[in-house]
Amino acid sequence: MDFTPSPDQSALTSAIDRIASRFETTPTEFHGFALDGVELERELESGQYFDIAAIPEMGPIAAALVVERLARLPCTAEIALSMLVRPQLDIELPRPFAVIENGRPGRFVATAKTLVLIDGAQVSVAHPSPEDVEAVESLYAYPMGRLAGKLSATPLAAEQAAGVRTWLRIACAAEMAGLMQAAIDATVEHLSVRKQFGRPLGTFQALRHRMAECAVLAGGVRRLALKAAWTGDAGDAALAALHAQESATRLIYDVHQMLGAMGMTLEMSLHLWTYRMKALLSELGGRGAQAEAVADYCFGAGQGSIER
């Protein structure tokens, strides 16, 4: 796969970088669990960036690049599902999007205008009213919500449901790639300024080796996510999501350990990325479901006991 961006993709990423530059820092007065990117979402909406996957010159791979880049920001908004899943259903569906799996609380549910409901093998789409959903408190660095009552939902055909699962995995991997890179960047900054025994922590070889391993993991997730967005293949998507969830588990442990007690305080912004990763770890059935999907799609096992 050629990762060289086209002129249109280069122009897009430059525009996204300019937008992102205004949201790079965490407000000094913020000491909470989730930093809501309302202004970022408004900016993307006004520029019609949520529709880029439907533009022939851009396509899903450009959308995945944008999702990965914006996931690095300390604030969060509903971006990945709208940019990568919505075009596969109907680009005219109202956003924000959210997913509810087997009745559990989900990200952005409280403000969603389109819900993807996953209940076992069935995938449905619903459009909640404000009274149908409610916000819930959570340690995850996303605004979380849940259903407040029963909804009238439209079931998807089996083929379309499988396609939705594929693009949900791609969206998960693309977002995870950005979160991993942001966590690495925050940790590197800490290791560069924090001193022990009269020298920066980042000069110690053991820590350098562990950070190098984290960088390799993040790079692998990014490339698999982009490949899956390029091909739209179910097996590629399952591999990308599996590697993302496996790698994030290791990376979260390492970066928090390297920051020591500082990494467990709200004064440090690390949790804005690692706790978003923790929320993504359990999505789509978690690592076990992704591994079984890889077995089925990539190796023809065909014996999956779970919905793919």
What are the pLDDT digits (tens) for 110-145?
A: 999 999 999 988 999 999 999 999 999 998 999 999
E strands, the chain, in order = 97-101, 106-107, 114-119, 122-126, 133-136, 144-147, 154-155, 195-196, 199-200
Mean pLDDT of 258-266: 74
Domain range spanning residue 187?
160-299
In the chain, pLDDT over 90 holds for what percent of residues? Answer: 73
Note whether residue 134 is domain-resident.
no
Mean pLDDT of 234-262: 92
What is the per-residue pLDDT for 198?
A: 66
What is the per-residue pLDDT for 180?
A: 98
Note whether residue 87 is domain-resident.
no
pTM above 0.85, yes or no: yes
Note whether residue 43 is domain-resident.
no
- Hey, which of 77-91, 207-221, 260-274 has the most confident mean pLDDT? 77-91
181, containing H or E segment: helix 158-193
Note whether residue 215 is domain-resident.
yes
Note whether residue 175 is domain-resident.
yes
CB-neighbour burial class of residue 181 (10 A; exposed 0-12, middle 13-18, buried 19+): buried
Radius of gyration of the chain (CA): 19
What is the per-residue pLDDT for 26?
A: 86
Query: Is the peptide bond prior to 143 cis by the omega test (within 30 degrees of 0)?
Result: no
Note whether residue 154 is domain-resident.
no
Mean pLDDT of 273-297: 95
**φ, ψ dihedrals at 114, nearest 5°:** -135, 130
Judged against a pLDDT cut of 80, whether residue 302 lies above it is answered with no
Judged against a pLDDT cut of 50, whether residue 276 lies above it is answered with yes
For residues 292 and 245, give the distance between their C-alpha atoms in angstroms, rounded to a whole number: 14
Whether residue 224 contacts residue 174, with contact meaning beta carbons closer than 8 Å, is answered with no
Mean pLDDT of 283-288: 94
Mean pLDDT of 12-32: 90
What is the per-residue pLDDT for 120?
A: 87
Q: What is the CATH number of the domain that holds 175?
A: 1.20.140.10
Band (306; pLDDT cuts 50, 70, 90): very low
For residues 101 and 113, give the distance between their C-alpha atoms in angstroms, rounded to a whole number: 16
For residues 120 and 165, give the distance between their C-alpha atoms in angstroms, rounded to a whole number: 12
For residues 268 and 48, give the distance between their C-alpha atoms in angstroms, rounded to a whole number: 33
CA distances from 295 to 163, 228, 300, 303 (A): 17, 16, 6, 9
What is the per-residue pLDDT for 195?
A: 58
Residue 130, number of CB atoms within 10 A of its CB: 10
Count of alpha carbons within 13 angstroms of residue 204, beta-carbon side: 14
Number of domains in the chain: 1
Note whether residue 247 is domain-resident.
yes
Whether residue 191 contacts residue 133, with contact meaning beta carbons closer than 8 Å, is answered with no
Note whether residue 239 is domain-resident.
yes
Mean pLDDT of 20-25: 94
Mean pLDDT score of the chain: 90
CA distances from 297 to 119, 139, 162, 233 (A): 21, 34, 12, 9
